Structure 1
């Protein structure tokens, strides 16, 4: 746990003491995880709301009382700020830090300003106004640079809680140094460097949010034997109100005051000296009134620099012959950016490890802990006169080396790099690959747009008649995008670029378009709207379900699909982040998201938490070869199944070809709407349309279904039905629509069908009756015939003899 001053102040308050006055490490035990701190709290005063600002309260008879604003003046405030180890008072006002119900202090302070404690001041019976005194102590006078070549350079020291200590922060850069230089009334910042102490020393460690202007308010803690910061400011010149630290209105310091320089007394050689003195590049602009008017006094001499001098005040000068500088004539300078970048060790100047020249030193560049956006890499590619950013790798070496570290916020504009660079030791290497020969222009993202090919330092369009699907596969692969999904002309706007003169003959496996075979194009010219325009599939997808709008989130990078994970995923993978993913995929919004454990480790793409709510094609991500079992899953609204619609009838439902479902006239029937997703509630809307009628009925969804009943089917019920399920999910109103159901009501049958049906029935009845009559009549006769009339069966021999005696009749 880091013992910041805010945490120590909480300790003082928990002990019913006043504000923290000081803390220091007095001993470090053999256990590196335990420290001993000495804390001194004020026993009589405190500022409520913050360490060095807030409503003043004084301890009286074991309770805290507010102080009347009318009983408190500047001298009293100076004593309070000094007693609490803060800077001199910069604000004194009642009711600034909120109202209070604390009892009021009963006396008026009469401090002279030199006392060491408020209660040592004289006092008298107070006057009542009803306003509690509020106080802000500044940090002015509590910063200094020591052990440098002059008072504006050296190790940064800060006096806090009564002690001077060196200062260090995870991200102290040129922007931070600019605020320090300004507070010390020095000129523009020149360098910021990190140094490692040779002996044990406690330093103030600053929170990354400290910007140099809020040192008293921002969080601090103590660490022993830690790096400290050296800053060099110009002692005599500064550029004011510019777009960056290498541009602005020139001011020169003389006799502790700053003066402007008239442009009539300043030329290109003078500007070269100024830019060099400030560690900027050569001057690229010199004019007046560019960076605003000023009321500063005018410099009284004309500079006569030769251009090689190291500082402006070293140049020869002469007394001015005039006394005033006309409005808009103050010298305003724009120096070029001195920082240079290059890619080292790659196949060409558009690939390799990123290096940067800063403060005249070439070093590798690595991202700050939060990573970089893809648009940050795109800035690098453009700076190197390359085109689309393709990919990057983050490799780790065994040994650490000195590197320049840059935040992603600063990467959006190369002119800001100088202000944001910090130096540190690191073992990472950033390998960047930019495309140096192709680009997609005017698309919605880096994976879509009009194709242009570079040749002889100029860009040309490609005619779609000279480009096929195999060529498109190579382009998408070269740009580290997914497979091509669309190939057409005129999709991304017209162009006036010249036409590429050859036809590509790719086989689809090549790594770059220019590696493909080609022949001279048979096209003499490309018709309007025929330039190749290509859409490659994006870098995101959801996998593991039958729907493209539900599953595990995966990202395509380095020509490989991997699951995505994010640091602090328990906090970051929420409805807002998942909805951003759904929106990017054109799948609506998130209805369900979770982090699942797959029990199988896989390589994943790690991305920064802020990526989830940004557009992924400009998202920052890491290439670390790490594995995890966690998966980010999401179900988007478009993945929910449409409701089902069906019909039932008391007389049954038939299905006729090309006529949909049929029910009989006069019978009762029902339309059933149902859904199969997990989200209960809502209402079902039944929409009916025919040539003359449109109806809307609604019923609440019970167990995700609703039954719409109709007592007697009539011709008015014949038409098209559709179910719509309205359900509220994750603060969103969702409308799920079924397919259309066509229903026909059979009102009557034709005469022919009637006759045929009845004839068939009568025939069946006649045949059945005749058959039964014959059967029963024959049986009855046999039963009534006398036995004597029946022939006696003497056996087979007798019958044989009788047949032999029977005469032959011819």
Structure 2
């Protein structure tokens, strides 16, 4: 054991091997989830599950800068990684690096199950500068550092997962920086590849890691349906006609605003009629009324046509009502109350 320790010190101090020795990486998952590989005796080797515990898992997630441990288990892959794996790590749990734990031993990979680990990726998440804890600018904490999230790598599925993680229900809307202001400090440019049914962001794959060029002018914001802001936000009604026909008004940024015709199409019209419970679209056109609705209207909705709610489409922008014609729509028929 003493000779082993001396050899290890000799490698750390005097050899080019030291650049890699003891480094770890995860494969077959995301940046903070996957099959564990460690650079051991001049090669990348898988780690066996047999002697692994919470202490070793905690050190590994810390070493990777991936927060805390969510779980560790046997790898779903049965493929052997070369001929040799590693076993025998023993950590107290407080170490910063697996190299500070008692030394491991090489063994044949067929002698046990290989290790798969899921780290949290980040230790905390929050929404700030909103009316409550379920609305605001998205911020994540990696170890001790809080930072904002770049909207370039953010979508409604990731927003849904974040809302679920915060016990705030699902996402009503993704919003621009002028809603909740610019953050400060680090900007996390992670691109979360979520399906939308996960309960924690760490369960989503990460397809990019701090690679997107971003500034605080692109900080992501989210409104969850658990927020008081969600009671009205994104709701629609028709005025100046009948229950399923009229000038379109949407509750946007805490006020009812008319919608401009300029970027409207059959897809958005279908979603609107569906949201109102008014069947299908018969037609949409410019409003016969020339009266401005306050000073601001809304434009820029973009829907696929399958959404249940305009809030699930890409977010719109406020504009002056005089900049375009206002929208009048006729849906096929009323199915329930028009104020949704």
TM-score (norm 2): 0.67
Equivalent position of 2:111 in the other structure:
326
Write the mapping of 1:134-533 to structure 2, written as runs, cut at 5 A.
Answer: 236-242=23-29, 244-254=30-40, 257-288=43-74, 290-296=75-81, 297-300=83-86, 302-319=88-105, 323=108, 325-326=110-111, 329-345=113-129, 349-358=133-142, 360-365=144-149, 367-368=151-152, 372-373=155-156, 377-387=159-169, 394=176, 396=178, 403-404=187-188, 410=194, 412=196, 413=198, 414-415=201-202, 416=204, 419=207, 422=212, 424-427=214-217, 479-481=230-232
- Whether the 8 Å contact between 1:390 and 1:478 is mirrored in structure 2 is no
SS at 2:111 equivalent: coil
Distance 1:432 1:301 in 2: 44
Equivalent position of 1:562 in the other structure:
257
Distance 1:576 1:239 in 2: 42
| Aligned residue pairs, count | 305
Once the two structures are superposed, residues 564-587 of structure 1 have per-residue CA deviations (whole angstroms, 9 ceiling, x without a partner) of: 359x82xxx333443343344343
SS at 1:338 equivalent: coil
The 1:588/1:249 distance shift into structure 2, 3 A limit, reads same
Q: Offset at 1:293? A: 1.0
Q: Which residue, 581, 586, 590 being the options, matches 2:272?
A: 581
The 1:579/1:391 distance shift into structure 2, 3 A limit, reads closer
Pairwise CA RMSD: 4.5
Distance 2:194 2:260 in 1: 25
1:540 aligns with 2:236: yes
Distance 2:283 2:253 in 1: 29
Q: Offset at 1:292? A: 2.0
The 1:565/1:306 distance shift into structure 2, 3 A limit, reads farther
SS at 2:117 equivalent: strand
The 1:318/1:347 distance shift into structure 2, 3 A limit, reads closer
Distance 2:270 2:247 in 1: 14
Distance 1:279 1:356 in 2: 13
- Whether the 8 Å contact between 2:193 and 2:205 is mirrored in structure 1 is no
- Whether the 8 Å contact between 1:265 and 1:302 is mirrored in structure 2 is yes
Equivalent position of 1:615 in the other structure:
308
- Whether the 8 Å contact between 1:241 and 1:248 is mirrored in structure 2 is yes
Gap regions ≥5 residues in structure 1: 1-149, 154-185, 187-233, 439-476, 483-537, 640-810
Q: Offset at 1:274? A: 1.6
Q: Offset at 1:616? A: 1.3
Q: Offset at 1:317? A: 1.3
TM-score (norm 1): 0.32
Distance 2:191 2:109 in 1: 45
- Whether the 8 Å contact between 2:65 and 2:142 is mirrored in structure 1 is no
The 1:409/1:339 distance shift into structure 2, 3 A limit, reads same
Gap regions ≥5 residues in structure 2: 1-15, 335-340
Higher relative contact order (CA 8 A, sep 6+): 2
SS at 2:116 equivalent: strand
Distance 1:603 1:310 in 2: 55
Greater share of strand residues, 1 or 2?
Answer: 1
Distance 2:219 2:28 in 1: 36
Distance 1:418 1:629 in 2: 41
SS at 2:217 equivalent: strand
- Whether the 8 Å contact between 1:551 and 1:635 is mirrored in structure 2 is yes
Distance 1:347 1:608 in 2: 24
